[in-house]
Amino acid sequence: MVEVLVMVFIASFAIFVVWKIYVLYIKISLANPATFQASFLAEEGIEAVKFMRDSNWTSNIATLIPGTHYTLTFNGSAWGVTTVPSFILGRFDRRVTVSNVSRDASGNISESGTPDPNTKKILVEVSWWEDTATTTSQITTYVSNIFGN
């Protein structure tokens, strides 16, 4: 009788562990598409800023106010920015923030030094609501006025 009780306990425990692993697997599987989508949206944001840079640095990038959160817009042929928030796919909030860049005496990017008007630091941040909290994915890069426009 004791052996049967031990076997039932071990079998029940094993089934419980397998069930918990399965539930965790399902939860992670359902969360991953949002993470992938957010990563792709952040990457698209960087590419959109590069497209804006290529089109016209002076009117598209140089005029952006450092520290302001911008939302990217696309009119069918060109990218632009607005300060009006909007959600992508009804779920994702993508924001682009521009920062000024300084260079040291050697010409390297540094926290202090001479301001470089032809280089900007770009942060693209994608946020979405997941379970009980907001999750964020972000990419940072630098863009420069490589075409002198």
- Chain segment 80-93, per-residue pLDDT in tens: 999 999 999 999 99
How many domains, the chain? Answer: 1
87 phi/psi in degrees, rounded to 5: -105, 140
Q: Quote the CA–CA distance of 79 and 19 in Å, as a whole number.
A: 48
- Residue 127 counted as domain residue: yes
Q: What is the pLDDT of residues 20-56, one digit of tens each?
A: 999 988 887 776 788 889 999 999 999 999 999 999 9
- What pTM does this model have? 0.77
Task: Determine, yes or no, domain membership for 149.
Answer: no
Residue type, 12: S
Element spanning 138, H or E: strand 133-144
* Tokens matching residue 68: 């302001």
- Three-state DSSP at 64 gives coil
Among residues 94, 97, 98, 96, the alpha carbon closest in space to that of 119 is found at 98
> Is the residue at 75 inside a domain?
yes
Residue 143 has pLDDT above 90, yes or no: yes
Domain membership of residue 123 (yes or no) is yes
